[in-house]
């Protein structure tokens, strides 16, 4: 089962990388703009509360859709780690020599082929991705605010 999951992930990885990277780039810019524009025009009567609420709800939807694969990949990686721990526990309590050899063989296979997800071999696709995007957005929001001479 583990081998099938790993093979399936490897087969679809090339297509997924580019299909996920493009929306990731554009939605990161969308997040920046959605947060930046109300901050810049906070004193003017350009935006009303309804418009800001709608844009924030839309932003929340984008974030959920954007980070769902990252959370799923993180959960799958966590389950693989949990499986390895269960096998090590089974190895410690097992008395059958043949079964122990099979468990050791499978543990070596899991260690040789971990479920590690990345986008284009650069961006980690796990629970770190939202933190990376948030860090990037905050950094560039600060730069944009400094360059706009508002504060």
pLDDT in tens, 102-132: 888 888 888 888 888 888 888 888 889 999 9
Q: What is the pLDDT of residue 131?
A: 92
What is the rounded CA–CA span in Å between residue 66 and residue 103?
Answer: 37
Weakly modelled stretches of the chain, pLDDT under 70:
43-47, 150-151
Tokens in use for 136?
A: 């990037």
What is the rounded CA–CA span in Å between residue 78 and residue 6?
Answer: 14
**Overall pTM > 0.95:** no
Q: What is the pLDDT of residue 150?
A: 66
Q: What is the pLDDT of residue 37?
A: 79
Give phi and psi for 42, each to the nearest 5: -65, -30
DSSP 45: S
Distances (CA, A) of 135 to 48, 102, 130, 138: 28, 44, 8, 5
Tokens in use for 130?
A: 């939202």
Q: What is the pLDDT of residue 47?
A: 66
């Amino acid at each position: 089962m583990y081998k099938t999951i790993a093979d399936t992930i490897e087969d679809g990885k090339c297509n997924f990388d580019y299909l996920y990277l493009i929306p990731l780039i554009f939605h990161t810019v969308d997040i920046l703009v959605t947060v930046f524009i109300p901050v810049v025009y906070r004193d003017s009567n350009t935006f009303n509360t309804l418009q800001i609420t709608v844009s924030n709800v839309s932003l929340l939807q984008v974030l959920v859709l954007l980070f769902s694969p990252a959370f799923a990949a993180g959960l799958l990686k966590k389950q693989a780690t949990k499986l390895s721990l269960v096998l090590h526990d089974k190895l410690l309590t097992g008395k059958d020599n043949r079964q122990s050899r099979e468990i050791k063989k499978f543990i070596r296979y899991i260690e040789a082929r971990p479920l590690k997800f990345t986008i284009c071999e650069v961006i980690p696709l796990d629970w770190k991705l939202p933190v990376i995007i948030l860090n990037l957005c905050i950094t560039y929001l600060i730069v944009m605010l400094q360059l706009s001479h508002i504060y």
